[in-house]
A = this chain, B = another copy of it.
């Protein structure tokens, strides 16, 4: 048989596992979240990131890299969240090219409500994991994230 085939490379297999695991969890937890909290997983991720940032706001560009979406995609995503009243846009004082997306009070409420469901789902998913294993997973994943 041929050597050097894709199937034989352990890194290819590792990456395949990463994709399979993530897509599976996204679909399971996403459905759960949407069914019980009426909140798409993407919206949850946006609100979460805004809520834990400095003044509850992040530039469109920052969201773009953190979510790995194109700038166009972020524009429209924030459009929808804004229509729903969960975020608002704020101009930047020092650079008129940039726009901030900021979480609103209803946004924080929606996030907290959704978090209840989401955490329950996550507990089930990670039920078999010890605290030490979770720490290991965290540190490994941190090294794969986009540069600051």
Contact = CB atoms under 8 A, between A and B. Distances in A.
A83 interface: no
A4 to B, nearest CB: 8
A8 to B, nearest CB: 9
A126 B15 CA distance: 10
Contacts of A2: 112
Interface in A1-21: 2, 4-7, 9-21
Question: How many copies are assembled?
Answer: 2
A24 B122 contact: no
Interface of chain A, main secondary structure: helix
B14 A146 contact: no
A95 interface: no
Contact of A16 (B20, B48, B125): B48
A143 B128 contact: yes
A45 B19 contact: yes
Contact of A126 (B6, B11, B27, B126): B11
7 contacts: A4-B112, A9-B119, A12-B118, A15-B122, A16-B49, A17-B141, A21-B142
B136 A136 contact: yes
A101 interface: no
A90 interface: no
